[in-house]
């Protein structure tokens, strides 16, 4: 059995996949501003918060934007995204997600969520799993986005567990870097060729075995 006291999960790409909804909302916004947006560009937004993503998109625009205009654009994107995720349900849980959460709980470990999404609470409610977590970081209170360690350190502190006693689970390069910077063990979800900083990589939570880490 592992010596961890808590497991802190990312949300998008780990427990559920809202990436398609984000993609549609960002693509609509980008193209309204004359910026070409495709799946390759979208990869740059993985693990990046809303304003950071917006800045990456607007860097390709010939226009200049005031902060007020940027906030309005970010709000417009978010409204469209919220409309899209309103259709989510437990059927949108990724394979292995419920079993992984159950295994962590059965082992007596605490469970945290460290997502940069300001809609994380809404998504958890739609999935029907909000009560599975001992603590969910409120992304609105986080000053520094991943790869900064703030969000994972916040989760650990709020769970009352030292960072070195935490296992962090992420699918994005920036997220894995955040976990490592926080001094935690990093379990990557995806490809080992991409998530090179992770201590271990599995293809999905279907392969999650707490005793292996």
Least confidently predicted of 66-70, 202-206, 209-213: 209-213
Report how far apart, in Å, the C-alpha atoms of 19 and of each of 22, 53, 60, 97, 199 are: 5, 13, 21, 16, 24
- Residue-wise pLDDT for 8-35, tens only, equals 999 999 999 888 898 999 999 999 999 9
Please state the pTM of the whole predicted model. Answer: 0.84
Transcribe 119-152 into DSSP letters.
THHHHHHHHT-GGG-SEE--GGG-SS-TTSTHHH
The pLDDT-based confidence of 43 (bands split at 50, 70, 90) is: confident
Active site residue 99: no
Question: What domains does the chain contain, in order, with CATH numbers?
Answer: 6-16+90-212 (3.40.50.1000), 19-85 (1.10.150.240)
User: Quick one: tokens of 187?
Assistant: 């379990």
- Angstrom distances, CA of residue 120 to CA of 50, 123, 129, 171: 13, 5, 11, 16
Q: Is 10 annotated as catalytic?
A: yes
pLDDT at 130 (0 to 100): 97
Choose, from 12, 49, 165, 171, the residue flagged as catalytic. Answer: 12
Q: Which of 10, 49, 165, 171 is catalytic?
A: 10
Other residues' Cβ atoms within 10 Å of the Cβ of residue 190: 20
CB-based contact 174:188 (threshold 8 Å) = no
Statement: residue 164 has pLDDT above 80: yes
**What per-residue confidence (pLDDT) applies to 69?**
97
Give the mean pLDDT of 204-210: 96
Residue 115 in this model has a pLDDT that exceeds 80? yes
Three-state secondary structure call for residue 12: strand
Is-contact 75 51, C-beta < 8 A? no
Is the per-residue pLDDT at 1 higher than 70?
A: no
């Amino acid at each position: 059995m592992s010596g961890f006291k808590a497991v802190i999960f990312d949300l998008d790409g780990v427990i559920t996949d809202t990436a398609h909804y984000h993609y549609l909302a960002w693509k609509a916004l980008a193209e309204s501003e004359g910026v070409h947006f495709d799946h390759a560009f979208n990869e740059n937004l993985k693990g990046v918060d809303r304003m950071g993503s917006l800045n990456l998109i607007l860097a390709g625009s010939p226009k200049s934007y005031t902060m007020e205009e940027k906030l309005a654009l970010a709000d417009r994107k978010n409204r469209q995204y919220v409309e899209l995720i309103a259709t989510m349900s437990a059927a949108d849980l990724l394979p292995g997600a419920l079993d992984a959460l159950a295994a962590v709980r059965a082992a007596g470990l605490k469970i945290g969520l460290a997502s940069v999404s300001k809609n994380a609470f809404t998504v958890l409610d739609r999935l029907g799993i909000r009560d599975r977590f001992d603590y969910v970081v409120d992304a609105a209170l986080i000053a520094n986005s991943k790869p900064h360690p703030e969000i994972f350190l916040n989760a650990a502190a709020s769970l009352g567990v030292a960072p070195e006693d935490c296992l962090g689970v992420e699918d994005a390069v920036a997220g894995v870097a955040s976990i490592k910077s926080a001094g935690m063990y990093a379990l990557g979800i995806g490809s080992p060729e991409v998530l090179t900083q992770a201590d271990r990589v599995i293809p999905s939570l279907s392969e999650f075995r707490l005793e292996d880490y």
